[in-house]
Structure 1
Amino acid sequence: MQFFEKLDQESKEIRAQYRSLLKVSKNVRSKKDRLMLRKAFDVALEAHKDMRRKSGEPYIYHPIAVARIVAEEIGLGVTSIVCALLHDTVEDTDINLDDIEHMFGDKVRVIIDGLTKISEVVGYTESLQAENFRKILLTLSDDVRVIIIKLADRLHNMRTLESMRRDKQLKIASETLYLFAPLAHRLGLYALKTELEDLSLKYTEPEVYDEISTKLEKTQEVRMRFVSQFSLPIKESLKKQKFKYDIKARTKSIYSIYNKMKTKNVLFEEIYDVFAIRIIIDAKPQEEKAKCWQAYSLVTDYYQPNPDRLRDWLSTPKANGYESLHTTVMSPSGRWVEVQIRSKRMDEVAEKGYAAHWKYKEGTNDTNFDEWINKIRELLENPESNAVEFIDDFKLNLFSEEIFIFTPKGEIRNLPKGASALDFAFDIHTEVGVQCMGVKVNHKLVPLSTELKSGDQVEIITSRKQKPNEDWLKFVITGKAKSNIKSALKVDRRRLILEGEERYGKWAKKNKVNASKANEKRILSLYRLPSMHEFFYRLGIDRIKLDQLQRMSIERGKIQTNDPPPTPKSTLEKHLQKQGKTEEMLVIGEQMDNFDYKISPCCNPIPGDEVFGFITINDGIKIHKTNCPNAIQLMSNYAYRIVKARWTSQQEIAFLAGIKVMGLDDLGLVNKITGLISSQLNVNMRSISFDSKDGVFEGTIMVYVHDTIHLKNLMSKMKQIDGVINVIRIEG
């Protein structure tokens, strides 16, 4: 009886959710659209009727929720809402793309195809998720709605992630932070990007997330009181000038606060721009810019602006369509406050991105967006790059701030901040980049690696004799430059491999060496190389000399070497198979004698940190913290090489950890710190360095500790010393 009652209750809930979806679908107006939406709901309901999510809920809850995000939070129309309802039908049920086209037409078919995951990994080194992501981007030229619906799908998966296993949570959250949040940012979907980042932090660093969230709640009332007082004179001035306006306080997201604390090495209390004031003006399109500048004038008449903090995205909008005027002013209490000024249209575009842009576009060409799609297409057209390389290159430019560079003819080109003169050459054209042999910046000859600044005028000097070299990859940052240099180098590499193979062939013939797998294995073992291709390449570039091979003894066509001890690969493979079957963990310190493992220097994990193992190609297992910056990329792109791991509780092992300490430059303070560490707490120090400027010192101390509890205790004691302002752990 209870079972049938539950089904009846779920059926009522599904109908209620559908009615709620209809209510928020403001762009579904005609009877034809409503019938199409109802049909899609019925098809999805039937297709998923026997399916349940990990949480135990009916699966249909998920597509309805995704459709609601698409309709309410992004504001798309009936085609997108229909596709959101149907997005998992082809992948998870018996319905195929022909059925979709027959019922809903070819537009819906194209979008659903883009949303359907690839079922097989293309190659061993490829990442399934990277390949899926690449496929989504390939559909950009067909329909950008594929990406927007995919982002809505990911957002709902993140909102319901609590029902997943911890290792799954980490993988999905890392993938979200690495790929999907930057893409939402690039599409101008600021609200989605912010929530994706916050939810990712919630699962990758739960303690940090809870701490910042709690502090924001506690300071909410004080912030609102300050905003009210600060806004009062601005409101009066705007009212006198007969402006139609709205003023909001925008609190910084949890993730951006965390990011600032981490990059600036500051405490929550030291971040002055936890919130910003946003002035939204209701104005006609032709009056928007003038009204925004007029409002800026009224604000700065009352509050003193910081001239270095004016940001004008009215004259030159960002590539994702963002338009706004930002200034930072001094309040009467001596606090800097960021003020953002924009029109109602600009605000909607800022929050909902290109989805809102279409609403105001009315058929005109959106050159910024077309340029962005063209840049992605250029990357995709490079046949040499695999999916993981592509995602890494593509992501480089998603989150970057932009600079504006002038050509000799006065045309403006947008590039990510930090771009080199060579990046500019590739941005002009692939051939210009490949043949670039010199650069003039502001009429002066400079190196190709010169970092450009906004306003620079750049002239490229080319030569047909010029060829790219591997050093170029050390300073270019744009995806286009990287992928084209790699492509050119791979062509050259193939030529060198053939040269090396020919040299080896002649040597083998002369020395009567058999062409056998056993001989190849001995050569690779001797030089510790992964493949004969790499061996031939190194011969081709003269990094390996054939006279080294002469020193090996050859008997009856076989190369004789003292074989090194067996590599840990077979042991790792056995462990991986065992782990896949039993879900066992790698226990660091207990069974590690059997494995070649290393503590990764990029994050220096110690016992107590949440960790995982990453299986490298030639370097055994690397142990990383789950919140290591590199972990996000590894979990996103190489999930099949991740090994679950935990620390042993049986052994007292000392691990190296870094501490940064800041304080007032008082006489004897450094002695107090070192005395506490070595004498009172008996902790060994490996290195110590201090620097002092303007009465404040900053020091870095490398110490040996047993685990995170030991480290936290040490840091807590250091904070109690008079004159010490802050003590933080160094992550790498």
Structure 2
Amino acid sequence: MYTIEDLALTLSKYLPYDEVAKVKRAYYFAEQAHDGQRRKSGEPYVTHPLAVAEILSILRMDCDGLAAALLHDVIEDTGISRDALTKQFGENVAGLVDGVSKLTHLEFNSQIEKQAHNFQKMAMAMADDIRVILVKLADRLHNMRTLDAMPANKKRRIARETLDIYAPIANRLGMYNVRVELESLAFQAYYPMRARMLHKAILKKYGQQRAKDIEKLEDAIRAELAADYIEAGISVREKHIYSIYQKMDKKRRSLDEIMDVMGVRIVTDRHDSCYRILGVIHSIFKPIEGRFKDYIAVPKSNGYQSLHTTVVGSNGIPMEVQIRTQEMDLVADNGIAAHWAYKAKGTSKTPSNHDRATKWVKSLLDMQQKARNPMEFVDNVKSDLFPDEVYVFTPTGQIVELPSGATPVDFAYGVHTEIGNSCISCRINRRLAPLSTQLESGQTVEIITAKNAQPNVAWLSFAITGKARTNIRHYLKDKQRENAISIGHRLLTRSLNAFKVNIGELTEAQISQVLINHNLDSLDDLLESIGKGRHVGYLVARELFPNYDEENLVTPQSFKVNGSEGMLLSYAKCCSPIPGDPIVGHVQVEKGIVIHHLNCPNVQDHLSSPERFIRMSWGKEIEEELHLSLIVTYINERGAVAKIASSISDTDFQVSNLEIIERGRISRLRLNITISSRIGLADAMRRIKAVRCVEKVSRETVIAR
């Protein structure tokens, strides 16, 4: 049975005597606090925090982190206060214990909203001190090792949240050993039958003569390296079972189709030896094309560095070979936890993966602050937890790492938020390309910006990184409020004109009373609410002047559409009004003003709320891209549709869709186009009418109810 003396012996190899003594004192404090408490397995409860500290000692965690590991359940389960811990062990340890305590009862498989709140809590705890999540990961790992004591339904829930949250976080922090064990244990608990069947299949396929083959392979590689005077450690292993299962599941492949089930790791002492070893391996075994990756020149986001190549072994079975230095190997196995190993050795060099992990955690906090709600935060962070990276270059040669499927918009925000916000187009390998293009490793991406540009809501349909999606939504949210306040100001001003008053002449008492009535904090909040259609300008004006004589009211002026109102002014799709049409505005909650053709039959649906209608007119200088449909009646002869489409193909009109709605000798089609004025519409109709087979062109102004 593992004891505190065993732990102390391990710690004495890298911690000074006084720090080992502090860890032992934390253990005895925890032992006394948990006295009488037992785990589900029947063991004394203190065996759990001791096991957690043992896991962290292998990662060479520092003194305060180990003390927090031993005390991590004290606040939650024994009633001992944070102040008492501060008095005994200092604020640093007490803060870590408090941070871990807040994460103790996360239940990620409960209601979605609760899951989102809990994940937010975890991100904030990580941002305060990243050791909090390391203690939590070690806590989860020991719980997974002792999961058999739990009832079946609880085992499945814990296994599922381990696969969904904890293993991906361990991966993101570069903690390979912890991630692999978490995944393997969770897979066996959540899919016990699949795990057993896959294990048997692997054993059957690769098990015979496996030990001899592995020994033979190691000897062959060692002999070739020795011939080139290269010193290196060699280990041959089988990929862990959950990794093989994931490949089979995601790619819909059988075990026979999965490559690199066997893996070879070669660890050397020098950076340049890695590339020499690669040459030796490729001289012994045939490399498989397209399966080489240089993570030394371009490290992964979690700091991982290694050369990867897949070759065909002597038995004809593909195997992956990983080549790296001892330093890279330490980082590969322990990730951010390697930081404390470096500190323990007294080296001044801080591994870059610690900085990367800290930067990632800070980016989580930034996302959390900008997200509108916990659900949006979780949605945005998923892509950062499950990255398959692509590596692209800036025009100056700087490497930018992005998740697979990322677009130039993600790239722009990855470089800088302001570049993303002012992006208008891009060049990929010096050629203009759509912003929705999925990027591939090795491409050079140049973002073209404009001073007055702004994010487009359509970007949310293809931007995938959390940073891009969060910043787009944040900008649009701020812009929407700005637009809403502007429209609300115009609507209230228009309504107050009927009372022969303007907003500047309102008294503080009048405004305060209306704000109290609607539980709002400021005049801007009121104007925003009017702009978004939650409150009606005319009714607010009546509240401001409750005793005003109706007979003295002046007919309000029409609301002029000038094209700069933003996203809270839109055009009804049922009638597609364009500049020059008689129009009317309908104020809808959260949509702002929706403009209809005055004769649109759908307007009649809203006559029960006449106060929500606004007299509208077009501004003189309006230049707005508007969508409408034309109905073309034509003689159905050979090539007729192509002639109609080409009649306006060389103009500025954009055709978004062409649909044949009636077939016969005389046929009809609907042509959806984008124009900016009645003059443009007349020109488009004239060009189409000039086609010899066209009988009639008419605008589809309204759609009957």
TM-score (normalised: structure 1): 0.64
Q: Which residue of 2 aligns with 1:356?
A: 338
Q: Which residue of 2 aligns with 1:695?
A: none
- Asked if the contact 2:12–2:20 (Cα under 8 Å) also holds between the matched residues in 1, the reply is no
Verify: 1:345 aligned to 2:327, yes or no.
Answer: yes
Code of the residue aligned with 1:230 in structure 2: it is L
Q: How does 1:413-562 map to 2 (within 5 A)?
A: 413-494=400-481, 496=484, 498-499=529-530, 501-502=532-533, 505=536, 536-540=589-593, 551=605
CA change 1:371–1:271 in 2 (3 A) is closer
Code of the residue aligned with 1:35 in structure 2: it is A
Code of the residue aligned with 1:298 in structure 2: it is V
CA change 1:537–1:299 in 2 (3 A) is same
**Distance apart, 1:276 and its partner CA:** 0.8
Aligned residues: 514
Q: Which residue of 2 aligns with 1:158?
A: 144
CA distance in structure 2 between the aligned counterparts of 1:400 and 1:25, rounded to whole angstroms: 35
Q: Which residue of 1 aligns with 2:201?
A: 215
- Asked if the contact 1:441–1:457 (Cα under 8 Å) also holds between the matched residues in 2, the reply is yes
Higher relative contact order (CA 8 A, sep 6+): 1
RMSD: 3.4
CA distance in structure 2 between the aligned counterparts of 1:544 and 1:208, rounded to whole angstroms: 62
CA distance in structure 2 between the aligned counterparts of 1:270 and 1:71, rounded to whole angstroms: 40
- Asked if the contact 1:375–1:480 (Cα under 8 Å) also holds between the matched residues in 2, the reply is no
Verify: 1:86 aligned to 2:139, yes or no.
Answer: no
CA distance in structure 2 between the aligned counterparts of 1:452 and 1:554, rounded to whole angstroms: 52
CA distance in structure 1 between the aligned counterparts of 2:112 and 2:256, rounded to whole angstroms: 44
Q: How does 1:304-319 map to 2 (within 5 A)?
A: 304-319=286-301
- Asked if the contact 1:468–1:485 (Cα under 8 Å) also holds between the matched residues in 2, the reply is yes
- Asked if the contact 2:533–2:591 (Cα under 8 Å) also holds between the matched residues in 1, the reply is no
CA distance in structure 2 between the aligned counterparts of 1:544 and 1:128, rounded to whole angstroms: 46
**Distance apart, 1:193 and its partner CA:** 0.7
Verify: 1:38 aligned to 2:52, yes or no.
Answer: no
Q: How does 1:33-432 map to 2 (within 5 A)?
A: 33-72=19-58, 74-117=59-102, 127-218=113-204, 219-281=206-268, 283=269, 288-360=270-342, 362-382=347-367, 383-385=369-371, 386-432=373-419
Percent sequence identity is 37
**Distance apart, 1:181 and its partner CA:** 0.9
Code of the residue aligned with 1:319 in structure 2: it is S
CA change 1:549–1:160 in 2 (3 A) is farther
CA distance in structure 2 between the aligned counterparts of 1:440 and 1:197, rounded to whole angstroms: 41
Give the 3-state SS of the residue equivalent to 2:207 in structure 1: helix
Q: Which residue of 2 aligns with 1:598?
A: none
CA distance in structure 1 between the aligned counterparts of 2:441 and 2:130, rounded to whole angstroms: 30
- Asked if the contact 1:420–1:452 (Cα under 8 Å) also holds between the matched residues in 2, the reply is yes
CA change 1:354–1:52 in 2 (3 A) is same
- Asked if the contact 2:265–2:323 (Cα under 8 Å) also holds between the matched residues in 1, the reply is yes
CA distance in structure 2 between the aligned counterparts of 1:368 and 1:18, rounded to whole angstroms: 31
CA change 1:324–1:293 in 2 (3 A) is same
CA change 1:549–1:23 in 2 (3 A) is farther
**Distance apart, 1:322 and its partner CA:** 1.3
Give the 3-state SS of the residue equivalent to 1:418 in structure 2: coil
CA distance in structure 1 between the aligned counterparts of 2:312 and 2:126, rounded to whole angstroms: 44
**Distance apart, 1:48 and its partner CA:** 1.4
**Distance apart, 1:255 and its partner CA:** 0.9
- Asked if the contact 1:320–1:368 (Cα under 8 Å) also holds between the matched residues in 2, the reply is yes
Where in structure 1 are there 5+ consecutive unaligned residues? 1-12, 513-533, 558-732
TM-score (normalised: structure 2): 0.66
CA change 1:459–1:191 in 2 (3 A) is same
CA distance in structure 1 between the aligned counterparts of 2:267 and 2:534, rounded to whole angstroms: 71
Give the 3-state SS of the residue equivalent to 2:476 in structure 1: helix
**Distance apart, 1:357 and its partner CA:** 4.3
CA change 1:552–1:440 in 2 (3 A) is closer
CA distance in structure 1 between the aligned counterparts of 2:105 and 2:250, rounded to whole angstroms: 39
CA distance in structure 2 between the aligned counterparts of 1:129 and 1:97, rounded to whole angstroms: 26
Deviations 1:683-703 (A, max 9, x none): xxxxxxxxxxxxxxxxxxxxx
**Distance apart, 1:502 and its partner CA:** 4.1
**Distance apart, 1:424 and its partner CA:** 0.9
**Distance apart, 1:151 and its partner CA:** 0.7
Give the 3-state SS of the residue equivalent to 1:337 in structure 2: strand
CA change 1:64–1:432 in 2 (3 A) is same
Give the 3-state SS of the residue equivalent to 1:308 in structure 2: coil
Deviations 1:496-532 (A, max 9, x none): 57346547625889999xxxxxxxxxxxxxxxxxxxx
Larger Rg, first or second structure (1 or 2) = 2
Code of the residue aligned with 2:89 in structure 1: it is F
**Distance apart, 1:333 and its partner CA:** 3.4
**Distance apart, 1:305 and its partner CA:** 1.9
CA change 1:64–1:372 in 2 (3 A) is closer
CA change 1:334–1:491 in 2 (3 A) is same
**Distance apart, 1:438 and its partner CA:** 1.3
- Asked if the contact 2:534–2:588 (Cα under 8 Å) also holds between the matched residues in 1, the reply is no
**Distance apart, 1:39 and its partner CA:** 1.0
- Asked if the contact 2:390–2:401 (Cα under 8 Å) also holds between the matched residues in 1, the reply is yes
CA distance in structure 2 between the aligned counterparts of 1:549 and 1:206, rounded to whole angstroms: 60
**Distance apart, 1:312 and its partner CA:** 1.3
Code of the residue aligned with 1:408 in structure 2: it is P
CA change 1:467–1:540 in 2 (3 A) is farther
Where in structure 2 are there 5+ consecutive unaligned residues? 485-527, 544-586, 612-705
- Asked if the contact 1:114–1:135 (Cα under 8 Å) also holds between the matched residues in 2, the reply is no
CA change 1:69–1:276 in 2 (3 A) is same
CA distance in structure 2 between the aligned counterparts of 1:356 and 1:314, rounded to whole angstroms: 17
CA change 1:423–1:270 in 2 (3 A) is closer
Give the 3-state SS of the residue equivalent to 2:290 in structure 1: helix
CA distance in structure 1 between the aligned counterparts of 2:470 and 2:128, rounded to whole angstroms: 23
Q: Which residue of 2 aligns with 1:672?
A: none
